């Protein structure tokens, strides 16, 4: 679908930006990607998201929409002729929204805390909290996916996008540390899901390569140390 | 509408619980209110919301739904024969969701910080931040309401509920301090809106009385000091 009136202000390594890209791909909506430079904010970004001044912002027909999960819901509601992103059943929708909010409010801060923890004790605590958060997502996969391929059932949906956008960074963290965040024994549900999600046509060119993210993480750590 | 299979686990002074009550009233859905005692958590609450262990929880046909804004959206989607709570236009829905998220993520923490700030300087900073947050809501009222009675247009909608649930506590804070959070000069939009919202049939018996909230606030402050 040619939609030259869709612009995404973002940065390729951002999982939150990746959510928007995946949702647009699922709906086969073309868009122009406006890359924000790291460490600076464009005038268009500041004008489009004056409240939070954060990426991603999607501009559709000149109107800006902010906050990744809100953008994904907007995409689902604005392009109704593509495959549905949210489930149709109200209870399933509520569950998808609940776990997506969990990802942003609990999983993501825990994931960040693990990445920045220093010292053996702090690292061990952060690691345990992160593994607890992941085990809850493993449970959520069983509850929401009900034995199917995705959190959304047979196809990729809202919750798949909300969690799946972190797969690249999770792999980068696995590569830089000695722990497996998702593996066949502890998290068999997520293990199979991650493979299917990552290789999906709407996803595979969006999720950044592990090596790229490892480089970025090292660069950011060095920068943080220098400050 | 008789819906004896709807239960709300909550506490009357909680603005987040009030959201659920207002939404159910708007849809004319009867419900059983299960009051949680302050300072303890019932087994039903812990079983129904094992992830956050927080009120409100709505149980519909035996199935629990958690997180106030998610519950309000569920109510809108499960009882489609009542008046719509979210706007029908995708962009208006995205705006309502954006500002509702702003209320929870920015306004509410700022409001709490103002309530608990100690010392003249800290109070002045917290007061300024709170007034900035309220001025943004005044702008949002102009943008979303477009000169109509409510954020949702001619009738109470999602964003009205998200913000309006705090009116009781805002009045309590006004009563306990020397500042006006919403007044006719600085925030004329919110001033008129607050009157209309508070006197609406779906709202007026839900919002706790200012005096009750002042008593609760004093009790909580005394308890915090004693610890």
The yes-or-no verdict on residue B166 having pLDDT over 70 is yes
Contact by Cβ (8 Å): B170, B181: yes
The yes-or-no verdict on residue A144 having pLDDT over 90 is no
Tell me how close the Cα of B90 comes to any Cα of chain A, in angstroms. Answer: 6
Looking at the DSSP bridge assignments, the partners of residue B65 are B58
- Tell me what the pLDDT averaged over chain A comes to: 94
Q: Does A71 touch chain B (CB under 8 A)?
A: yes
What are the tens digits of pLDDT across the range A38-49? 889 999 999 999
Does residue A178 or residue A220 have the better pLDDT? A220
Q: Which residues touch A73 (CB under 8 Å, ≥6 apart)?
A: A85, A86, A158, B93, B94, B97
With 0-12 / 13-18 / 19 or more C-beta atoms within 10 angstroms meaning exposed / middle / buried, residue B123 is middle
Q: Cα-flanking dihedrals φ and ψ of residue B10, to 5°?
A: -165, -165
Give the model's pLDDT for residue A39: 84
Give the model's pLDDT for residue A178: 77
Nearest to B173 by CA among B224, B102, B225, B117: B117
Q: Find the radius of gyration of the CA atoms of chain B.
A: 18
| CB contacts, 8 Å: A66 with chain B | 98
Give the model's pLDDT for residue B2: 46
Gap between the Cα atoms of A36 and A38, Å rounded: 6
What is the rounded average pLDDT of the residues A4-13? 93
Whole-number Cα distances in Å, A20 to A27, A45, A68, A119, A163:
11, 16, 6, 36, 13
Query: Chain A: residue nearest B97 by CA?
Result: A70
For chain A, percent of residues with pLDDT exceeding 70: 98
Residue found under tokens 């009781």: B168
Gap between the Cα atoms of A37 and B49, Å rounded: 41
For residues B160-198, b (16+ Cβ closer than 10 Å) or e, as one string?
Answer: bbbbbbbbbbbbbbeeeeeeebbeeeebebbbebbeebe
Give the model's pLDDT for residue B24: 98
Q: Is A93–B71 a contact, with Cβ atoms under 8 angstroms apart?
A: no
Give the model's pLDDT for residue A4: 61
Whether the full predicted model's pTM is greater than 0.80, yes or no, is yes
Facing B77 at nearest CB: one of A65, A67, A93: A93
Confidence grade of residue B3 (pLDDT, cut at 50, 70, 90): low
Q: Does A135 touch chain B (CB under 8 A)?
A: no
Q: Does A90 touch chain B (CB under 8 A)?
A: yes
What are the tens digits of pLDDT across the range B25-62? 999 999 999 999 988 999 999 999 999 999 999 999 99
Confidence grade of residue B4 (pLDDT, cut at 50, 70, 90): low
Quick one: tokens of A107? 């999983």
Q: Is B71–A94 a contact, with Cβ atoms under 8 angstroms apart?
A: yes
Of how many residues is chain A composed? 227
Does residue B191 or residue A146 have the better pLDDT? B191
What are the tens digits of pLDDT across the range A161-176? 999 999 999 999 999 9
What is the rounded average pLDDT of the residues A190-216? 96
Lowest mean pLDDT among A10-19, A144-153, A217-226: A217-226
What is the rounded average pLDDT of the residues B1-21? 89
Give the model's pLDDT for residue A145: 82
Tell me how close the Cα of B29 comes to any Cα of chain A, in angstroms. Answer: 16
The yes-or-no verdict on residue A25 having pLDDT over 60 is yes
Best mutation site among B48, B86, B98, B103 for testing chain A: the one with the most A CBs within 10 Å? B98
Quick one: tokens of B41? 């958590």
Give the model's pLDDT for residue B111: 96
Conformation bin of residue B155: beta by default, left when phi > 0, alpha when psi is -120 to 50: beta
What is the rounded average pLDDT of the residues A98-105? 97
Facing B102 at nearest CB: one of A51, A97, A136: A51
Give the model's pLDDT for residue B116: 85
For chain B, percent of residues with pLDDT exceeding 90: 87
What is the rounded average pLDDT of the residues A143-147? 86
The yes-or-no verdict on residue B88 having pLDDT over 50 is yes
| CB contacts, 8 Å: B97 with chain A | 67, 70, 73
Residue found under tokens 């995205």: B94
With 0-12 / 13-18 / 19 or more C-beta atoms within 10 angstroms meaning exposed / middle / buried, residue A219 is exposed
Per-residue DSSP letter, A58: E
Gap between the Cα atoms of B178 and B211, Å rounded: 16
What is the rounded average pLDDT of the residues A136-142? 95
Best mutation site among B61, B94, B109, B139 for testing chain A: the one with the most A CBs within 10 Å? B94
Gap between the Cα atoms of A194 and A74, Å rounded: 25
Tell me how close the Cα of A78 comes to any Cα of chain B, in angstroms. Answer: 6
Q: Does B70 touch chain A (CB under 8 A)?
A: yes
- Tell me what the pLDDT averaged over chain B comes to: 94
Sign of the four-CA dihedral B6, B12, B18, B21: positive
**Element spanning A76, H or E:** helix A68-78
Gap between the Cα atoms of B11 and A15, Å rounded: 37
Query: Chain A: residue nearest B62 by CA?
Result: A91
Q: Is A91–B73 a contact, with Cβ atoms under 8 angstroms apart?
A: no
Best mutation site among A90, A92, A129, A137 for testing chain B: the one with the most B CBs within 10 Å? A90
Does residue A178 or residue B97 have the better pLDDT? B97
Give the model's pLDDT for residue A1: 47
Q: Is A101–B67 a contact, with Cβ atoms under 8 angstroms apart?
A: yes
Facing B51 at nearest CB: one of A65, A71, A136: A136
The yes-or-no verdict on residue A65 having pLDDT over 60 is yes
Gap between the Cα atoms of A158 and A19, Å rounded: 9
| CB contacts, 8 Å: B78 with chain A | 90-91
Nearest to B105 by CA among A93, A45, A70, A60: A70
Task: For Cα atoms A187, A189, A191, give the angle at the middle one, nearest 5 degrees.
Answer: 65
| CB contacts, 8 Å: B66 with chain A | 98
What is the rounded average pLDDT of the residues A64-80? 98
For chain A, percent of residues with pLDDT exceeding 90: 87
Q: Does A54 touch chain B (CB under 8 A)?
A: no
The yes-or-no verdict on residue A26 having pLDDT over 70 is yes
Whole-number Cα distances in Å, A146 to A93, A95, B49, B218:
14, 13, 20, 48
Q: Which residues touch B91 (CB under 8 Å, ≥6 apart)?
A: A60, A63, A65, A74, A78
| CB contacts, 8 Å: B51 with chain A | 102, 106, 136
Contact by Cβ (8 Å): B92, B174: no
E strand map for chain A:
6-10, 32-35, 57-60, 63-66
Q: Does A136 touch chain B (CB under 8 A)?
A: yes
Gap between the Cα atoms of B112 and B115, Å rounded: 5
Confidence grade of residue B200 (pLDDT, cut at 50, 70, 90): very high
User: Could you give the count of Cα atoms lying within 13 Å of B177 in the half-sphere of its Cβ?
Assistant: 21
Give the model's pLDDT for residue A3: 52
| CB contacts, 8 Å: A64 with chain B | none
CB pairs under 8 A between A and B: 56
Tell me how close the Cα of A215 comes to any Cα of chain B, in angstroms. Answer: 32
Give the model's pLDDT for residue B1: 47
């Amino acid at each position: 679908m040619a939609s030259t009136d869709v612009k995404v202000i973002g940065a390729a390594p951002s999982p939150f930006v990746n959510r928007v890209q995946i949702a647009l791909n699922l709906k086969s909506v073309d868009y122009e990607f406006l890359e924000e430079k790291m460490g600076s904010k464009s005038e268009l970004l500041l004008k489009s998201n004056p409240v939070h001044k954060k990426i991603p912002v999607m501009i559709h027909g000149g109107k800006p929409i902010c906050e990744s999960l809100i953008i994904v819901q907007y995409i689902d509601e604005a392009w109704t002729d593509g495959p549905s992103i949210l489930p149709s059943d109200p209870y399933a929708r509520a569950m998808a929204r609940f776990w997506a909010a969990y990802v942003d409010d609990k999983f993501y801060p825990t994931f960040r805390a693990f990445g920045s923890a220093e010292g053996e004790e702090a690292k061990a605590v952060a690691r345990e909290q992160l593994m607890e958060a992941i085990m809850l997502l493993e449970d959520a996969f069983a509850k929401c996916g009900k034995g199917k391929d995705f959190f959304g059932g047979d196809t990729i949906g809202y919750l798949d996008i909300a969690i799946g956008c972190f797969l690249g960074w999770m792999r980068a963290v696995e590569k830089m540390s000695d722990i497996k965040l998702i593996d066949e024994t502890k998290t068999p549900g997520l293990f199979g899901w991650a493979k299917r999600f990552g290789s999906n046509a709407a996803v595979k060119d969006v999720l950044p390569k592990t090596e790229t993210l490892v480089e970025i993480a090292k660069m950011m750590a060095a920068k943080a140390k220098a400050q």
